[in-house]
Amino acid sequence: MMKQTIRDIREFAAKRVLVRVDFNVPLSRQDNSITDNSRIRESLPTIQYLINRKAKVIICSHLGRPDGKVVEKLKMLPIAKELANLIHLPVKTVNDCIGSKVTSMVDSLKAGEILVLENLRFHAEEEANDPAFAQKLAQLADIYVDDAFGTAHRAHASTEGVAHYLPAYAGFLMEKELNSLGHILATPRHPFAALLGGAKASDKINLIKNILDKVDMVLIGGGMAATFLKNQGCEVGRSLIEPDKIDLAHQLVVTAQQNNIAFLFPVDVMVSDRIDVCSNLNTVSVNAIPPNAFIVDIGTETIELFSQQLKTCQTIFWNGPMGIYEVPEFSHGTREMMQLIASRNMATTVIGGGSTAEIAQEMGLVNKLTHVSTGGGASLQFLEGEKLPGVEVLLNKDLIGGVEKI
C-alpha cells in the first residue's frame, strides 16, 4: 500500500487525533439495538494503538441517513456504549460534532481518553463536503486518521474535506482493506474466480470489465443473471432485466471467450410466483422458466456446477447473493456457496462487503475466510479500478510530514 499509516507517525503523546470510522452499524427495528457490531470491532486495533501511545482520540462517524436533521434513533450514544464495552474503557460523548461545546470537550480530554462525536450527517454540510464544515472538524485535532474504508468512495467533509487541513493517515482497517483487495488485483494466485450476484447487472459491469484480464473464470448468479440469460436467448419470466445492458453483457461474454476465460451462467434456477414470499416454488432449467415466474435463486445443478469450478481455484472473490436471500426459501444457493468458499482453507477467499459480508457474519464463517470487506460500494469501486476520494487524500509513502522528498 502506497499510503502512510499511523505507524508512520513519530509522536502521538497528547496529540489530538480525529479518527473517521465507519460505525454505521445495523440497528434493530424493534428496540434500536445494534444487531451486528463487526464494524466497531474492526476499528478496535486502530483505536487501541492510539490509546496505547497516549493520544487524545476523537471518534467521528455517520449513522443511517438523517438527511441533515437530528434524528433521535440515529444518535451515537448506543454506539459509544458498545465501543466502551468492547474496548473495556470509558468513552465520552457529546451532543454535536462541531461547535463550542465540542471544542470544550476536546480541550478537556486527557492523554489516552476517547470522545465520540455526534452523528456527522445531522449536518447537511457533511455529505455536501462543505469546506467550512470540514475546517471546523479539522480544528478539533492535530492529526487525521481515516479507518472508514466503507465510506472511502464518498467525497464527504469527514472523509475527504478534512484531509486538506490536517496531515492524513490510514488506520489499520483501511490498510488491511487496501492490501487485501489490492492483492487480488495485482498478484492473485491462479486459478482465480469471480463469483458475482446481486440484483442488477449494471452494478457489476464495470467490475467485470476491470478484472476480466485477471481472472480465469466468472460465475454469474443472483438477479443480475436474468440480463445475461436474456442475452443467451433464454426467457426469464417476470425477472428484472436491464435492456440497455444486454449488449454490454454480450460484449463481456465474447471478450471472455476470445481470451479463454470461462463465463458461467446458471443452468437451472428456482422460480416463484412472488419475490416477497415463497409461492409455487420450483426448480426449472433456464430454458423452461415459466412466463409468470420470477427467478429467486440458483438451482441444484448450478450449485453443483459452480461448486466444482470453485473447488479448483486458488483465489475466489465474491460479491452479491445468489438469490433473494432475505426470504429463507430463496437463500439455499447463497448458503451453499458460502459454505463451499469458507471450506477452501488453502485458497485466498475475499468477500466484497455489503450483503454478502452480512451473510458471512450471520452464518458465523468470517473467520474461515481470508478477508471480508467492510465496504460494499467502496470495494466494488476499488476493484473497478476507480480512485477512492477518501484514499486519494491520504499522505503517500513518499511524503514525510506532508512534504515531498526531493
Q: Please spell the DSSP secondary structure of 210-260, one letter per residue.
A: HHTTT-SEEEE-STTHHHHHHHTT---TT----GGGHHHHHHHHHHHHHTT
Of the residues 3, 39, 75, 335, only one is catalytic, namely 39
Average pLDDT over residues 345-371: 93
Of the residues 354, 375, 376, 390, only one is catalytic, namely 354
200 belongs to the catalytic site? yes
Q: What is the CATH number of domain 190-346?
A: 3.40.50.1260
Are β-strands 399-400 and 403-404 bridged in parallel, bridged antiparallel, or unpaired?
Answer: antiparallel
Of the residues 200, 209, 238, 368, only one is catalytic, namely 200
How many CA atoms lie within 13 Å of 396's alpha carbon, on the beta-carbon side? 6
pLDDT at res. 402: 44
Quote the percentage of the chain above a pLDDT of 90.
91
State how far the Cα of 161 lies from the Cα of 130, in Å rounded to an integer: 7
Are β-strands 92-93 and 114-116 bridged in parallel, bridged antiparallel, or unpaired?
Answer: parallel
pLDDT at res. 401: 47
State how far the Cα of 86 lies from the Cα of 303, in Å rounded to an integer: 39
Which contiguous run of DSSP H or E holds residue 205? helix 205-211
Candidates 276, 252, 274; CA nearest to 265 is: 252
- Residue range(s) of every CATH 3.40.50.1260 domain in the chain: 6-177+388-404, 190-346
15 belongs to the catalytic site? no
Q: CA torsion 13→14→18→23, rounded to 10°? A: 80
CB 71 within 8 A of CB 120: no
CB 146 within 8 A of CB 159: yes
39 belongs to the catalytic site? yes
Checking if the pLDDT of 376 tops 90, the result is no
The CATH homologous superfamily for domain 6-177+388-404 is Phosphoglycerate kinase, N-terminal domain (3.40.50.1260)
What cell numbers appear for 92 in the block?
465520552
* Cα dihedral sign, 181-185-191-194: positive
Candidates 259, 262, 280; CA nearest to 271 is: 280
- Residues facing 294 on adjacent strands: 272
CB 272 within 8 A of CB 296: yes
Average pLDDT over residues 218-225: 96
Q: What is the pLDDT of residues 197-214, one digit of tens each?
A: 999 999 999 999 999 999
pTM of the model: 0.91
- Residues facing 275 on adjacent strands: none
Q: What is the pLDDT of residues 249-307, one digit of tens each?
A: 999 999 999 999 999 999 999 999 999 999 999 999 999 999 999 999 999 999 999 99
189 belongs to the catalytic site? no
pLDDT at res. 81: 97
Contacts 24+ apart (CB under 8 A), 227-236: 227/200, 227/201, 228/201, 228/253, 228/265, 229/265, 229/266, 229/286, 232/265, 232/286, 234/286, 234/287, 234/289, 235/289, 235/291, 236/289, 236/295
